[in-house]
Amino acid sequence: MSAGPDRPIGFFDSGVGGLTVLHECLVSLPAEDYLYVGDSSHFPYGDKSRERLRERATTIAGYLLDQEVKLLVVACNSATSAAGDAVRELGRGAGVPVVTVVGPEAEIAGAITENGRIGVLATPATVFSGAYRRALEDQGRELTVTEVAAPDLAPIIQGGATFSEEVVNTVRGYCRPLKEAGVDTLILGCTHYPLVAPLLQRILGRNVRLVTAGHAIAGAIQRRLASEDLLREGDGEGGYGFRVTGDRESFVTLGTRFLQLPLSGRVEHLEL
């Protein structure tokens, strides 16, 4: 398969979290078309085994490649940590470039930290994989990395209850070791977490810089498309559509808040 500029960019995530990344791409690369798969019937990914995550990630990647996307984005940290290599191999076989989270965020965090103390807040699957620690070590700087596994945070956000006192107390507990470590930079290692970024900023203090996947991935996508001569030219707005393996209506309701653009009429159910 040879990709062309007019083909869509494919995204996938365990649910709606990757829409925070898609939002940045819709803003930064408005002329492109996008096809997003939300595997909400298997959410959350953060407590799944590596083998199970590789199975789901390669199945969804295979589906998107069959839709003839020109670039494939793994917009899920847990899936990237467990199966990024397998998805990249599938992409190479199809002649389609693959962009994943983790690496671009680690690059930014390593560049902007002033005291060399970087925090990572992520799902258990991502933390236990060591993906961010390895990516930060590859920056070539002497860094102290504090990783905190947050098993409850993505399900809370996916469920829509992001502003109760219970949520505040949960987030405060996850932030405690980060504050004790004196981090000046925090990687939000799950694409769901930007929705609680204001709360994290309040608890950690305004001097702690938060690094999210959205801006990092949008920049990486633009550079990769340009290098492959796949950028779509023009000033118009491209289209965007969604496939969801779980309940369609709940995806529309919650996803609209994540994407900050309308989803109604653009979401189809998908059996994989």
- At a CB cut-off of 8 Å and minimum separation 6, what does 49 contact? none
- What is the distance, to the nearest Å, from the Cα of residue 23 to the centroid of all Cα atoms in its chain? 11
The reply to whether 25 belongs to the active site is no
Token readout for 107 is 């690059």
Of 53, 59, 60, 97, residue with least CA distance to 77: 53
Residue ranges of E strands in the chain: 9-13, 34-38, 71-74, 98-100, 117-122, 144-149, 185-189, 209-211, 240-244, 267-269
Which one from 19, 57, 76, 196 is the annotated catalytic residue? 76
Which amino acid makes up residue 204? L
The reply to whether 190 belongs to the active site is yes
Across the beta sheet with 34-38, the strand order is: 98-100, 71-74, 9-13, 34-38, 240-244, 267-269
Q: What is the DSSP string of 242-260?
A: EEESS-HHHHHHHHHHHHS
Beta bridge partners of 186: 119, 210
Classify burial at 77, counting beta carbons within 10 Å of its beta carbon; exposed 0-12, middle 13-18, buried 19 or more. buried
Of 1, 127, 121, residue with least CA distance to 64: 1
Which one from 109, 121, 190, 225 is the annotated catalytic residue? 190
Q: What is the DSSP letter of 161?
A: -
- Residues annotated catalytic, as ranges: 76, 190
